[in-house]
């Protein structure tokens, strides 16, 4: 599924590798970031390739492909979603750790509520009677 660069929160001043690109999505990501046609970015890359030789451009392109974060699959709506995606793209282990902590907090909260409701002091008969 493809999203245009104007649909999401994540394109506001951020450079991502495009998921729709030809080779790693670097040129399309740069084109989306600069808001220009991907054709122009590719033409510039080909011109640099011709005038500088294969090795420098290939090395720069591979480094860019490694260090540029991939574009989010679904547009991010809030700053919190952007923060989570940034942490996930940077370190999956850290993102999983954050999710695990969040679910542990939710589990503790659910257990507290369950303990309150199932306690002997909770008067079910009075709560369920209809006036």
Question: Is residue 5's pLDDT more than 50?
Answer: no
Q: What CA–CA distance (Å, rounded) separates 10 from 97?
A: 23
Name the pLDDT band for 7 (thresholds 50, 70, 90): very low
Which residues, other chains included, contact 19 with Cβ-Cβ below 8 Å and sequence gap of 6+?
Answer: 2, 25, 70, 71, 73
Name the pLDDT band for 2 (thresholds 50, 70, 90): very low
- Which range has the top average pLDDT, 17-21, 31-35, 80-84, 90-94? 31-35
pLDDT value at residue 40 = 92
Count Cα atoms within 13 angstroms, Cβ side, for 115.
6
Block residue for tokens 């399309």: 28
Note the Cα 59 to chain centre separation in Å: 26
């Amino acid at each position: 599924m493809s999203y245009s660069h104007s649909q999401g929160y994540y394109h506001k001043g951020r450079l991502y590798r495009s998921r729709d690109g030809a080779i790693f999505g670097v040129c399309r990501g740069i084109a989306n970031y600069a808001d220009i046609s991907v054709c122009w970015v590719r033409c510039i890359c080909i011109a640099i390739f011709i005038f500088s030789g294969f090795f420098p451009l290939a090395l720069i392109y591979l480094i860019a492909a490694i260090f540029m974060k991939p574009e989010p699959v679904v547009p991010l709506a809030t700053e919190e979603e952007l923060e989570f995606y940034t942490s996930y793209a940077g370190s999956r282990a850290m993102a999983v750790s954050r999710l695990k902590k969040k679910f542990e907090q939710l589990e503790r909260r659910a257990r507290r509520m369950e303990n309150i409701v199932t306690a002997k002091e909770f008067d079910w008969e009075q709560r369920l009677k209809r006036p």
